[in-house]
Amino acid sequence: MTLAITIDTREQRPWSWLPSEATVTVAGLRTGDYAITGDDGFAIERKSLDDFLGTISSGWDRFTRELWRMSGWPARVVIVEADVAAVYFEASGQGPQHRHNLLTPSFVAKRIAELTMRNVSVIFAGDDQRASRIALAILRERQRQR
């Protein structure tokens, strides 16, 4: 089934799908980055690792206001284009693979717990390709439920 997906105009490197999977329109979304076209009741928020870490630290107040705008939605989803291990340590033992050196792993875990208890799903997808596949599956399920 081909979905009609709207990508927010602020997306700098938008995900793409095969034409048999989705037709894409770029337009302003009130909240979120990816939504089924015409669906004002659900969207997916996309984050790079650095963006996610900035959001849960210095951007927390702004992000909680955005979450408030999502209240009443059937789900609130944040897809992070990184592996959760990147928050902690790579196998090589080089330390965290992000620019937010002052954020401890326990702080990140606490924020993820807070989001979970606010019914926000944080999905660490590994990379942008996996993230786009997960997003497509979620948007298909949203369409099926509508």
CATH code for the domain in which residue 19 is found: 3.40.50.10130
Give the SS3 label for residue 59.
Answer: coil
| Token pair of 136 as six digits | 């497509």
Per-residue model confidence (pLDDT) at position 117: 94
The 10s digit of each residue's pLDDT in 16-67 is 999 999 999 999 999 999 999 999 999 999 999 989 999 999 999 999 998 8
120-130 average pLDDT score:
96
Q: Is the pLDDT of residue 91 over 50?
A: no
The residue assigned the tokens 């089934």 is 1
Domains held by the chain: number: 1
Q: What is the CA radius of gyration of the chain?
A: 16
Per-residue model confidence (pLDDT) at position 16: 93
State the pLDDT confidence band at 146, using cuts at 50, 70 and 90.
confident
Residue of 141, 134, 142 whose CA lies nearest to 17: 134
Q: How far is CA 49 from the centre of its chain?
A: 10
The Cα–Cα gap between 76 and 96 comes to 27
Q: Is the pLDDT of residue 99 over 80?
A: no
Residue 79 lies in domain: 3-145
pTM of the full structure: 0.90
Q: Is the pLDDT of residue 103 over 90?
A: no
